[in-house]
Chain A
Amino acid sequence: MNKRKFLARATAGLTTLAAASLLSFTALAADTIKIGTVAPKTGPLAGGSLVSQWPNVDLWVHEVNERGGLKMKEGQKKIELIAYDDKTNPTEHIKAVQRLATQDKVDFIIAPYGTGFNIAAAPIYSKYGYPQIAVTSVTDQIGELTERFPSLFFTLGDTTSFVAGLKDVLVKLKDSGEINNKIAMVNVADAFGIELADVARPLLQEAGFELVYDKSYPLGTPDLSPIIKGAKATEADSFIAWSYPPDTFGLTEQAVIENYDVKVFYTAVATAFPAYAGKFGSKIENVLGAGGVNPDTDEMKAYRARHEEVTGKAPDYWASANTYASLQILEAAIEGVGEVDREAVTNYIKSNTFDTIMGPINFDDQNSNRFWTVGQWQEGVFRGVVSSNIEGAVDVKLKDGWN
């Protein structure tokens, strides 16, 4: 066989091969729909995202595929999930989303975990027209951000309503004479904690409260006992901590040890985690925290049961449900449009109301006003006590010791 003949054959062979692979690719593409997701599996935010984000992504994909896939105009398509770990690093996150959009060419992307990551990734979602239904993102710039990024949606409320929920609880208790007007407030010195404390200060003062203890502590403080001791030394009836998971656990443990006898004890992120109840058992009766759910609706009961069954662990009592609801919205919008037309799906989300495990959700100016802001542990369940437009809030009870 001479050289030329060989070349000709090789080329022919390669061409068939390429054609074959192209064929199989299109065949494959026809019956699946590619969905991408990027969130931390390692790094500082991993502990939270492995509770609230990843299990819900897995659960949703599992359920949709079990049903036979998403109902599109050309028939049902199963979801092919492409997931990356951003290592809680913005640079990694941006790269991974770019990869999803331009290399993996996924059809849709599930919104990131964390405020900073949602905002850092928004320009990419917007550039390629992916609808971005942000869940774990609390900011006071919703107006400016949604105007800038027309395919960005918020579902967990803004910082001010997040703080105002707690303020309402306190005002009610103060007006009925159950607590005094003194508050001990601490916050973790990280973007999230700083922002919340800053919003809280004027809100609480305008409502007639006095901040008798107002301190921050650095991320990763190994010993929080001076803080609880300092707060305990004041006459405040209420303790508020704008805290992150490790310090939520740490502050509560110190409060137990010091037998910090306050009437209102509030910690922020991770109070709603099952691990919080796992660690403290009945001691946390009547502890207040960020989030909450109404666990008594049929939808929520069914969701919690399925979550445990499929992922092997219980969902938290806050962002888990919101995350799953956001996926239901994405699912309904894709099915409503019936094809991979991202612009149409985005518009569909803007103009429709969606049935979710949290009840009907719709968006005004790309922002949903149905969410829980404050919850409370009552008999082993973290129930919502303040919400924005959701039914089922229960009455707040005063904390009575740490037993």
Chain B
Amino acid sequence: MTGQGFKSLTLIGVLVIAAAFVPFVTNGYWLSIAVTAMMYIALATAWTLFSGPTHYISLATGAFFGIGGYLVATGMSDFDISFWVMAAIAPIVAVVLAALIGAATLRLSGIYFVIFTLGLAEMIRGLVSWVQNNFLGSRGLYVLTDFTEEHIYWMLLGIAATVYVIGWLIDRSKLGFAMKIIGNDEGVAKHLGINTARAKVILFMITGFFSALVGVIVAPRYSYIEPNLVFSPEISFMVVIMALLGGTQRLWGPIIGVIPFILIWETITVSFPNATTLYLGLSFLAIVYFLPNGVVGLIESLTKRGRAS
């Protein structure tokens, strides 16, 4: 098991190094796809860190992402604080928030947890707009930096790799063991004397930290921040969809969910510029019906078959 674990870590290491060279190979369109893919890989991996083992589907990604993007924007536009200072503050705010959400939602399970996180994200979005409107009174939130797509790409890659390594370490720690038991049966976990509450909250805080960091890094790419757009619930849904498509039982599941997803998305956008949304919908349906266990399921059943023959 550990041998295999190290093997997968090495594999990821090789992939990260390979991925780091992408900007040297292309710098236009494919790089912009790579940036988008890397943004979702980082978000979906961070999401899986918590939601994979616990089976708690969180729709709070948009809130954390938004906090990252928004705080950078308001810090730079309204208070003239540098990007890097805000980049340090925003994830900490997100961690505090995640701790509060985590603690508040301990009693919730299943769909109640899902919609609670959605409601919370929406509440924050409304609150931020209101505060912006009444107290900060902004004349537009601009994040004008000298970052190029390459810089953003490498920073996102760095986040994604860090999240993966942290996930890998957790998997091998007492915390990871606890999480697995919680995911299987929370009652049993409690009986075994595992502090389920602490384990869940800690993981949720890690997820919040990195999701906000992604928001921070992406803000310069948007240049002009509209609170309603950075706090968009769409991003929470997209992350969940991509992670589920990949499969959440493995930490690398989201990675192989995101890449085909983005590629299919692009192909459709290019092929049917007039009815993109319709064909995207139809392709989702096709995936659900023909890939019942996500991409991970497909790969695992293929390798199983490969070994058997």
Give the B-binding residues of A (Cβ under 8 A): 41-42, 82-85, 87, 89-92, 94-96, 98-99, 101-103, 115-116, 119-120, 122-123, 139-141, 144, 148, 159, 187, 189-195, 197-199, 201, 216, 218-219
Contacts and interface: CB of A to CB of B under 8 A. Distances in A.
B137 A198 contact: yes
B228 A95 contact: no
A120 B223 contact: yes
A119 B224 contact: yes
Q: Is the interface of B mostly helix, strand, loop or mixed?
A: helix
26 contacts: A82-B273, A84-B269, A84-B273, A85-B269, A85-B274, A91-B221, A94-B32, A94-B221, A95-B29, A99-B32, A99-B270, A115-B224, A119-B142, A119-B223, A119-B224, A120-B223, A122-B223, A140-B140, A141-B140, A141-B142, A159-B139, A159-B140, A190-B226, A190-B228, A191-B140, A191-B225
Contacts of A91: 36, 39, 218, 221
B88 to A, nearest CB: 24
B229 interface: yes
B107 to A, nearest CB: 29
A70 to B, nearest CB: 22
- Among B39, B140, B229, max chain A CB count under 10 A is at B140
A349 B140 CA distance: 27
Contacts, number: 117
A90 B144 CA distance: 15
B226 A116 contact: yes
Interface residues of B, number: 39
B300 interface: no
A245 B261 CA distance: 33
Contact of A96 (B138, B218, B269): B269
Nearest to A116: B224
A21 B155 CA distance: 41
A41 B276 CA distance: 9
A195 B140 contact: yes
B132 A194 contact: yes
Interface in B215-262: 218, 221-229, 232, 234
Contacts of A120: 221-224
B133 to A, nearest CB: 4
Q: Which 7 residue pairs across A and B have the least CB separation, nearest first?
A: A102-B28, A191-B226, A119-B224, A98-B32, A189-B129, A102-B29, A198-B137
A216 B133 contact: yes
A195 B139 contact: yes
A263 B133 CA distance: 27
Given A98-B32, A116-B226, A218-B129, 6 more contacts: A42-B277, A84-B273, A91-B36, A98-B31, A119-B142, A159-B140
A192 B39 CA distance: 27
A194 B133 contact: yes
A194 B129 contact: yes
Given A119-B223, A191-B228, A101 B28 contact: yes
A98 B226 contact: no
B185 interface: no
A89 B228 CA distance: 11
Contacts of A98: 28-29, 31-32
B112 interface: no
